């Protein structure tokens, strides 16, 4: 797999020449798509760029003594090759650009996998992001802010580390990534990794073991950014939104002709071909919606709950309100909306009640994170430090046992709530 792949490599020669002239993109092509790109590998000698075999040579379709079989692209591998999913990766602040790409692809009948269209309330973000490596194409809308998003970098690492041959198409918008910009991005992630390691150094491993995958990810990001930037500069790709808007149909055609190749697609790959043409289509409505229903509300203080309960629409649905973790002896079944902020997570009774709600099978828990800082993975480390200091200074044996028991689940609890897709303006729906 190559992260920045020549997306037109399997198109017929006339189209390749036209793309070279109109887009000024260097295009490589090997073999004939209809003859050589079917079956178990094409027999080409290739360089591997991921999955722990970086820069090693392999023959597409050949099974090695280790039992591993490698493929040069998705067309040569039946599992991914039969997939018609196109995973759209972008930062939420660039949703308007993602809408343009998604609308164009959907207008051509291409199945676009996008978070807001695929996920419902309480779905796990991490589970969705792992589908990137199961898609046939990975289209990344890369503005400069993209490289500073931990979630976007997670998706990028999924592709680079994947043993599946996913075709990646990087749409870089804004300034080109020069060596200085690359260093700036790498330093940012190296500093985040260093600060996290320093923060957890003095904390009991039983409380922070769940952060090991996050530390490993932060270590990989800097290396993977270097791989991407090197390949980008080597290919001299066009950049800018103007290129995107003017050539979105070329993008559609390159994907369309390799998803379901046919003679008609190849000979009539023009704007006039309705099978290829990417007309603008409205994006699917977001799935992350909450159908108003009766619920129980949990807030740290009465002042926080009043900001919600003053709404007449909410009062009609509200069953009960609990403050600072004060729960009844028997938890009522149904939907429980919990307002999360840092003061709440500094309360032992509130944390205990959260764990009780998570353990109850008859409860549907909707955590609404009010503090934006808590939305970032590992952002709760300072809270762990505070709890550890409280544990060290506590003289009451029962209190120490409660804190120790809670601390062993505190980090995974916050991580699970952060991983649940629940929009903050839930009460406005």
pTM: 0.76
Q: Measure the CA–CA gap between 217 and 211, rounded to whole angstroms.
A: 10
Question: What's residue 418's pLDDT?
Answer: 92
Give kind and range of the element (H or E) at residue 193. Answer: helix 179-200
Q: Measure the CA–CA gap between 233 and 340, rounded to whole angstroms.
A: 44
Q: What 3-state DSSP class applies to 25?
A: coil
Q: What is the pLDDT along the chain (429 residues), one digit of tens a residue?
A: 333 333 434 444 455 455 445 544 443 333 333 333 334 566 667 665 444 555 567 777 777 777 777 766 555 665 555 567 888 999 988 888 888 888 888 887 788 888 888 887 778 888 888 888 778 788 888 888 899 999 999 988 888 887 666 677 777 777 777 889 899 999 999 999 999 999 999 899 999 999 999 999 999 999 989 888 887 777 655 555 555 655 666 677 667 766 655 555 555 544 456 666 667 788 888 887 777 889 999 999 998 888 888 888 888 899 999 999 888 888 999 999 999 999 999 999 999 999 999 999 999 999 999 888 898 999 999 999 999 999 999 888 999 999 999 999 999 999 999 998 777 666 654
Q: What 3-state DSSP class applies to 2?
A: coil
DSSP 334-385: EEEEEEE-HHHHT-HHHHHHHHHHHH-TTEEEEEEE--GGGGSTTTTHHHHH
Residue of 98, 89, 93, 95 whose CA lies nearest to 137: 89
Backbone angles phi, psi at 351, to 5 degrees: -65, -40
Structure tokens at 286: 């977001």
Angle between helices 397-418 and 348-359 (to 10 degrees): 60
Question: What's residue 120's pLDDT?
Answer: 79
Q: Measure the CA–CA gap between 336 and 179, rounded to whole angstroms.
A: 50
| Structural contact between residues 292 and 121, judged by C-beta atoms closer than 8 angstroms | no
Pairing outcome for strands 56-59 and 45-48: antiparallel
Pairing outcome for strands 318-323 and 295-299: parallel
Which domains occur in the chain, in start order? 13-267 (3.40.50.10140), 295-428 (3.40.50)
Dihedral, CA of residue 276, residue 277, residue 278 and residue 284, to nearest 10: -70
Question: What's residue 109's pLDDT?
Answer: 79
Q: Measure the CA–CA gap between 22 and 14, rounded to whole angstroms.
A: 12
Question: What's residue 129's pLDDT?
Answer: 85
Provide the sign of the torsion angle of the four alpha carbons 366, 367, 370, 372, taken in this order. negative
| Structural contact between residues 56 and 82, judged by C-beta atoms closer than 8 angstroms | no
CB proximity list for 227: less than 8 A, separation 6 or greater: 3, 49, 54, 160
End-to-end CA distance of the chain: 43
Residue of 285, 305, 280 whose CA lies nearest to 295: 305
CA separation, residue 365 to residues 124, 133, 157, 359 (Å): 13, 29, 30, 10
Q: How many CB atoms lie within 10 A of CB 34?
A: 13
Residue of 73, 123, 84, 33 whose CA lies nearest to 366: 123
Question: What's residue 35's pLDDT?
Answer: 38
CB proximity list for 111: less than 8 A, separation 6 or greater: 84, 85, 86
DSSP 42-110: ---EEEE-STT-TTEEEETTPBPTTS-B--SSGGG-HHHHT--EEEEE--GGGHHHHHHHHHHHHHTT-
Q: Scanning the structure block, which residue is given the tokens 């992630």? A: 189
Pairing outcome for strands 295-299 and 137-142: unpaired
């Amino acid at each position: 797999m190559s992260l920045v792949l020549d997306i037109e490599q399997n198109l017929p020669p006339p189209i390749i020449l036209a793309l070279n002239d109109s887009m000024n993109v260097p295009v490589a092509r090997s073999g004939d798509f209809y003859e050589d790109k079917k079956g178990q590998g094409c027999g080409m000698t290739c360089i591997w760029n991921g999955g722990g075999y970086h820069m090693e040579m392999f023959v597409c379709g050949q099974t090695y003594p280790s039992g591993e079989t490698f493929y040069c692209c998705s067309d040569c591998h039946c599992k991914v090759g039969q997939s018609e999913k196109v995973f759209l990766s972008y930062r939420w602040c660039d949703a308007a650009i993602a809408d343009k790409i998604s609308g164009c692809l959907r207008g051509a009948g291409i199945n676009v996998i996008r978070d807001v269209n695929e996920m419902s309330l309480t779905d796990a973000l991490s589970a969705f992001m792992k589908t990137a490596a199961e898609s046939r194409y990975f289209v990344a809308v890369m503005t400069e802010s993209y490289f500073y998003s931990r979630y976007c970098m997670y998706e990028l690492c999924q592709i680079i580390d994947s043993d599946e041959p996913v075709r990646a198409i990087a749409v870089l918008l804004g300034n080109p990534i020069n060596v200085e910009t690359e260093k700036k991005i790498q330093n940012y992630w190296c500093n985040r990794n260093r600060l996290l390691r320093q923060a957890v150094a003095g904390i009991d491993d039983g409380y922070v073991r769940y952060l090991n995958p996050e530390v490993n990810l932060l270590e990989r990001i800097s290396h993977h950014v270097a791989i991407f930037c090197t390949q980008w500069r080597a290919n001299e790709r066009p950049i800018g939104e103007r290129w995107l808007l003017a050539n979105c149909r070329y993008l559609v055609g390159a994907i369309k002709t390799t998803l379901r190749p046919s003679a008609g697609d190849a000979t009539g790959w023009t704007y006039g071909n309705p099978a290829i043409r990417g007309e603008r289509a409205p994006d699917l409505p977001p799935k992350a919606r909450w159908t108003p229903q009766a619920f129980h509300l949990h807030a740290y203080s009465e002042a926080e709950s009043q900001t919600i309960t003053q709404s007449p629409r909410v009062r009609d649905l509200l069953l009960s309100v609990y403050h600072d973790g004060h729960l009844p002896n028997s938890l009522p079944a149904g939907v429980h909306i919990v307002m999360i902020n840092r003061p709440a997570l500094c309360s032992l009774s509130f944390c205990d009640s959260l764990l009780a709600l998570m353990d109850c099978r008859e409860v549907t828990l909707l955590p609404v994170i009010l503090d934006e800082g808590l939305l970032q993975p590992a952002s709760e480390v300072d809270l762990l430090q505070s709890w550890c200091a409280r544990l060290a200074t506590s003289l009451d044996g029962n209190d120490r046992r409660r804190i120790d028991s809670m601390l062993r689940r505190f980090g995974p609890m916050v991580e699970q709530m952060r991983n649940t897709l629940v929009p903050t303006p839930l009460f406005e729906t």
